[in-house]
Structure 1
Amino acid sequence: MRIPRIYHPERITHPGEIELSEDAANHVGRVLRMTAGQTLQLFDGSNQVFDAEIIQAGKKNVRVRVGEGTTEDRESPLQLHLGQVISRGEKMEFTIQKSIELGVNVITPLISERCGVRLDAERMDKKLNQWQKIAVAACEQCGRNRVPEVRPVMTLEAWCAEQDDALKLNLHPRASNSINTLPQPVSAVRLLIGPEGGLSEQEIAMTAEYRFTDILLGPRVLRTETTALTAITALQVRFGDLG
């Protein structure tokens, strides 16, 4: 049986006994139904992992004995920041989960003209909390020991206007560039994925003003969630650690 990997939101600084967080305790005690004497592995976002043994397990509280930490770096050399216009239903959750498995470091949900999702502030806060939990679960599953940040929702233009040194890419069906024609080396990418209806002409022009490079993935029109994962995979193959 595979040893469960559990995220601990506070830095583990030395061996000893600790209480798992409420979310972790619920997963270990209620979902996995683990009991005293069983082992698990903790990670705290520091790129270290810690072997731990359960010494007390209930439905709401789990206490473990933690050993020495060891560094396990599974991060890609390519820094990827995904700007994803919010998609409907479970598509956004799917994109967040799979993009983290593929090595994305930061995700910013975006609002654009054709974004089909409209949420008030309270519901948006709940969504952000849910999306960050999905990020944690994806790391627990795929073996990453640093948890990517899901940032607060921004407008498309505000995100495009942020200053950094990354290569800025925008998927466009009529682009003349492809990922294979991008010059090497590239160590950081800011990748924009539009909504299901695509960006408007005005938004495409705006991205050009902020020096985004239009790229084409191929001859077929992909759904927004397929586009994100295809582009991330292609970037990791060319500049990162896939393939």
Structure 2
Amino acid sequence: MRIPRIYHPQPLSVPDNIALSDDAANHVGRVLRMQPGNKVLLFDGSNQVFSAEITLVDKKQVRVQIADQQVDDRESPLNLHLGQVISRGEKMEFTIQKSIELGVNIITPLVSERCGVKLDRERLEKKVQQWQKIAIAACEQCGRNQIPLIRPAIRLEEWCAEPDEGLKLNLHPRASQSINTLSMPIKDIRLLIGPEGGLSQEEIDMTARHGFTDILLGPRVLRTETAALTAIAALQIRFGDLG
């Protein structure tokens, strides 16, 4: 049986004996039906991994004994901040999950002129909490030991105006540059992915005023979730740790 990887929201150390979080306990005890003596791997976002053994499983809690810890750095040398205009249905969840597997460090959900999702503040805050849980699950699956941040949703222009010394990129079907023509090396990138209907001309002009460079992925028009993952993969191949 593969040893499951479990995120723990508080700092860990040897030889702690701890109770897992409610979500983790439910997964370990009810879904996986693990028992005392079974092994788990824990991580707390500190870029370390902790070997542990289950000592108690009951209806109220699951407890584990931490036996060992070691640094396990799987982070890309490319610091990538994704600004993704919120997409409909499960597309946003899919984009968040897969972009984290590809090494994105920060994701900011954006609201633009043609954003097809209209939510009030309370529902949007609940969505962000749900997206953060998806980020954690993606890290558990892919082996990352630092949890990317899902920021609160903000308006597109507000995000574009934030101070950032890294390279700012905006996908545009009529751009003259591609990822392969960008000068190396680059360590920090702010990547903007627009909505399903694309950015308006006013928004494109606004990104230019804030120092964004238009780039082209290829001759075909990609859906927003396809564009995000294609761009991230291409940037990781050129400037990061995919190859």
Task: Give the structure-2-normalised TM-score.
Answer: 0.99
Aligned to 1:117: 117
Counterpart of 1:115, as a letter, is C
> Contact 2:13/2:66 (CA < 8 Å) preserved in 1?
no
Counterpart of 2:221, as a letter, is V
Counterpart of 2:236, as a letter, is Q
> Contact 2:52/2:68 (CA < 8 Å) preserved in 1?
no
Q: Please state if 1:129 is matched with 2:116.
A: no
Distance (whole Å) between structure 2 residues aligned to residue 221 and residue 58 of structure 1: 53
Q: Please state if 1:203 is matched with 2:176.
A: no
- Offset, 1:59: 4.2
Distance (whole Å) between structure 2 residues aligned to residue 130 and residue 58 of structure 1: 27
> Contact 1:44/1:145 (CA < 8 Å) preserved in 2?
yes
Aligned to 2:14: 14
Distance (whole Å) between structure 1 residues aligned to residue 217 and residue 59 of structure 2: 48
Q: How does 1:1-243 map to 2 (within 5 A)?
A: 1-243=1-243
Q: 1:25-61, CA deviations, whole angstroms, 9 ceiling, x for partnerless residues? A: 1111121111111101000000000001001113441
Counterpart of 1:104, as a letter, is V
> Contact 1:86/1:92 (CA < 8 Å) preserved in 2?
yes
Q: Secondary structure at the match of 1:45?
A: coil
- Offset, 1:69: 1.0
Q: Secondary structure at the match of 1:53?
A: strand
Q: Secondary structure at the match of 2:177?
A: coil
- Offset, 1:23: 1.1
Gaps of at least 5 residues in structure 1 are none
> Contact 2:17/2:65 (CA < 8 Å) preserved in 1?
yes
Q: Secondary structure at the match of 1:180?
A: helix
Q: Secondary structure at the match of 2:104?
A: coil
Counterpart of 1:187, as a letter, is K
% identical aligned pairs:
73
Q: 1:107-163, CA deviations, whole angstroms, 9 ceiling, x for partnerless residues? A: 000000000001112211111111000000000000000000000001000000000
C-alpha RMSD of matched pairs (Å): 0.8
> Contact 2:25/2:61 (CA < 8 Å) preserved in 1?
yes
Q: How many residues align?
A: 243
Q: Secondary structure at the match of 1:23?
A: helix
Distance (whole Å) between structure 1 residues aligned to residue 167 and residue 33 of structure 2: 46
Distance (whole Å) between structure 1 residues aligned to residue 13 and residue 31 of structure 2: 27
